[in-house]
Amino acid sequence: MTETVTIEHAKRHISTLLDRVANDADEILISNGDRPVAKLVPVSQTINGPRIPGSDAGKIWMADDFNDPLPDDALGG
């Protein structure tokens, strides 16, 4: 369920709003007048899951010359 609240309401009740988002998976839209400015949403459990070393092996590469000094003309000299 998505509920819209004003910035003033969010300031006064942030703890309650965060509890609702965390426990009930509600989404809270925060508006400034009629204009939405932010949304409180639950953090996905997959984002906060345990890190697995090596799980991105083979997905990232670095050029062999990555750490070589820059050429003089690249430094504006």
**SS3 (DSSP) at 51:** coil
Q: Which residues are CB-contacts of 54 (< 8 A; sequence separation ≥ 6)?
A: none
**Amino acid symbol at 9:** H
Rounded to two decimals, what is the model's pTM? 0.55
Q: Determine the Cα angle at 57 with ends 51 and 61, to 5°.
A: 125
Task: Tell me the three state secondary structure of residue 14.
Answer: helix
Q: Report residue 77's pLDDT band, with 50, 70 and 90 as the boundaries.
A: low
Domains of the chain: 1-43 (3.40.1620.10)
Question: Considering just the CA atoms, what is the radius of gyration of the chain in Å?
Answer: 23
pLDDT in tens, 7-60: 999 999 999 999 999 888 789 999 999 999 999 998 865 565 678 888 888 888
